[in-house]
């Protein structure tokens, strides 16, 4: 009956963990390279509509974002769709100033290449979006991009 041997004195050898930091560092570098820093805290709900005919946004440094949607904090801001520029809620009238600021921050040669990406929640009504688009036309920011997710084929 040697099946039940006493386990005394046969403790398993410790696993060598000296390469653990290296593995973690590789993971770390992977994330550092493949992700981008979050620049603004989005305060509106963002459930983008899906589309198939999408293009990737090239040259992210030349893109300014306008977020539109229902505020996340309904108790404080209500359920009406709001526009968010940078970190704060804004009105339609603030857009011209926002675009002027964005242009100012860019190199002079790149200014007319500036794209405005509209990140709009799918449930938003078009009224707000139309107002924003009219305002963008007025200030001459003609290149726009309706931000959408890629539709998953089922």
Q: Specify the residue, 76 or 126, whose C-beta has the smaller distance to other proteins.
A: 126
Residue listed under structure tokens 């973690």: 24
- Min dist CB 62 to other proteins, Å, is 12
Q: Which residues pair with 44 in a beta bridge?
A: 71
Token pair, residue 27, equals 């993971």
Q: Which residues pair with 63 in a beta bridge?
A: 115
Q: Which residues bind other proteins (CB under 8 A)?
A: 17-18, 20-21, 24-25, 27-28, 31-32, 34-38, 49, 51-57, 60, 63, 115, 117, 120-127, 129-130, 133-134, 136-138, 140-150
Count of all residues that appear for the chain in the document? 154
- Min dist CB 106 to other proteins, Å, is 17
Q: Specify the residue, 51 or 105, whose C-beta has the smaller distance to other proteins.
A: 51
136 HSE (CA, 13 A, CB side): 20
Phi/psi zone of residue 78: left (φ > 0), alpha (ψ -120 to 50 degrees), beta? left
- Min dist CB 56 to other proteins, Å, is 6
- Min dist CB 76 to other proteins, Å, is 21
- 28 CB neighbour count, 10 Å cutoff: 11
Q: Specify the residue, 1 or 15, whose C-beta has the smaller distance to other proteins.
A: 15
Q: Specify the residue, 1 or 152, whose C-beta has the smaller distance to other proteins.
A: 152
Token pair, residue 153, equals 């084929």
């Amino acid at each position: 009956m040697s099946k039940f041997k006493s386990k005394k004195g046969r403790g398993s050898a410790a696993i060598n963990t000296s390469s653990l930091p290296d593995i973690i560092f590789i993971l770390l570098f992977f994330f550092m390279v493949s992700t981008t820093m979050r620049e603004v805290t989005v305060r509106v709900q963002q459930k983008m509509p899906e589309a198939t005919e999408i293009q990737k946004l090239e040259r992210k440094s030349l893109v300014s974002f306008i977020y539109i949607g229902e505020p996340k904090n309904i108790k404080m801001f209500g359920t009406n769709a709001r526009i968010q520029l940078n970190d704060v809620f804004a009105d339609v009238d603030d857009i011209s100033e926002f675009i002027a600021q964005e242009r100012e921050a860019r190199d002079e040669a790149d200014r007319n290449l500036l794209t405005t990406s509209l990140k709009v929640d799918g449930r938003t009504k078009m009224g707000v979006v139309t107002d924003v688009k009219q305002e963008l036309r007025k200030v001459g920011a003609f290149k726009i991009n309706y931000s959408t997710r890629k539709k998953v084929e089922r």
